[in-house]
Amino acid sequence: MIHLTDVRKAFNQGKSNEFWALKGIDLTVRAGKVTVFRGPSGSGKTTLLTLVGCLARPTSGRVRLRDRDISGLPERFLTDIRRSTFGFVFQQFNLLKGISAVENVMIPAYPLGRDPKELSERAHALMDSLDIGPKAQSNAEWLSGGEAQRVAIARALINDPEVVIADEPTANLDSERSRQFLGIVETLKQAGKTVLMTSHDPMVCDTAVVDHVVCLRDGQLVESR
């Protein structure tokens, strides 16, 4: 579904602190499967995630989404694709403080001009399905780690994307919550979504729900299971 061909990404190009995060990646992410990018910090897995999820463009190489080359697209189109295809769950959750959980969930849908009542219903339904319905009106800063993550997941799902991307999802969670998270991943897979994660947590990499593990080191693929 998503194909990367000889993708390279550099930061501060041309300056003295030029740094190549990715040095030629060839990769295929299959639809409907759960893929994990694994590797130590600095291996480039987060950078790889941003490229796959249309948050950034590669310095060289090609990224194809379902046979459509998106590596050279201008920001407008990239944003459009990102909005409709991908949902992100950040490592830091990145919820907006001072507003309620349900409003946080609805934010990605505002620019799309959906009917507010429908949107609100959908947001509440999503939150209910993730067992955080009762916390809908609480302000984001009052939520626990696990609750905040589930709000972030609901936010990622509000526009019904095909692909859900999560960066280090279990890094800030205990074992119990991590298990719950993997349960949610299972549900997403069953709903036909593609899931992409980065992690160095063996608990995540070695679970049955994961279909494909990609190991990275120093910006290059080491092995692909």
Partner 1 sequence: MRVWLNKQRSLLDFSLSSLSRRRGKTLGMLAVYTAIVFVLASVMLFSHAIRREAATVLAKSPEVLVQRMVAGRHDLIPARHLEAIKGIRGVQSAEGRLWGYLFDPAAAANYTLMVPTNPRIEPGKVVIGDGVVRVRSADPGDLMSFRAHDGSLVQFKVDHAISRESALVSADLFLVAEEDFRRLFGIPAGMFTDLAVSVRNPREVGKIAEKIDAALPDTRIILRDEILRTYESVFDWREGMLLVLLAGSILAFAIFSWEKASGLSAEERREIGILKAVGWETSDVIRLKMLEGLVVSLSAFLVGYLLAYAHVFHLGAGLFEPVLKGWAVLYPKYRLTPFVDELQVATLFFFTVFPYTVATVVPIWRAAIVDPDQVMR
Q: Which residues bind partner 1 (CB under 8 A)?
A: 46, 49-50, 55-56, 75-76, 79, 82-83, 88, 90-91, 94, 96-99, 103, 107-116, 119, 155, 159, 167
Closest distance to partner 1 from the beta carbon of 151 (Å): 12
Closer residue to partner 1 in complex, CB, 46/180: 46
Residue 130's Cβ-side half-sphere holds a number of Cα atoms within 13 Å equal to 30
168 CA to centre of own chain:
9
Closer residue to partner 1 in complex, CB, 12/175: 12
Closer residue to partner 1 in complex, CB, 98/202: 98
How many angstroms separate the CA atoms of 92 and 209, rounded?
24
DSSP alpha helix (H) spans, the chain: 45-52, 75-85, 101-106, 116-129, 145-157, 175-190, 202-205
Closest distance to partner 1 from the beta carbon of 175 (Å): 25
One-character DSSP codes across 120-175? HHHHHHHHHHTT-GGGTTSBGGGS-HHHHHHHHHHHHHTT--SEEEEESTTTTS-H
Closer residue to partner 1 in complex, CB, 68/97: 97
Decide: helix, strand or coil at residue 6.
Answer: strand
Place of tokens 């992690």: 199
How many angstroms separate the CA atoms of 103 and 81, rounded?
23
Closest distance to partner 1 from the beta carbon of 60 (Å): 17
In this structure, what are the phi and psi dihedrals at residue 32, rounded to the nearest 5 degrees?
Answer: 75, 5
Closest distance to partner 1 from the beta carbon of 48 (Å): 11
Closer residue to partner 1 in complex, CB, 121/174: 121
Closest distance to partner 1 from the beta carbon of 176 (Å): 27
Closest distance to partner 1 from the beta carbon of 179 (Å): 25
How many angstroms separate the CA atoms of 64 and 69, rounded?
4
Place of tokens 């507003």: 99
Closer residue to partner 1 in complex, CB, 28/50: 50
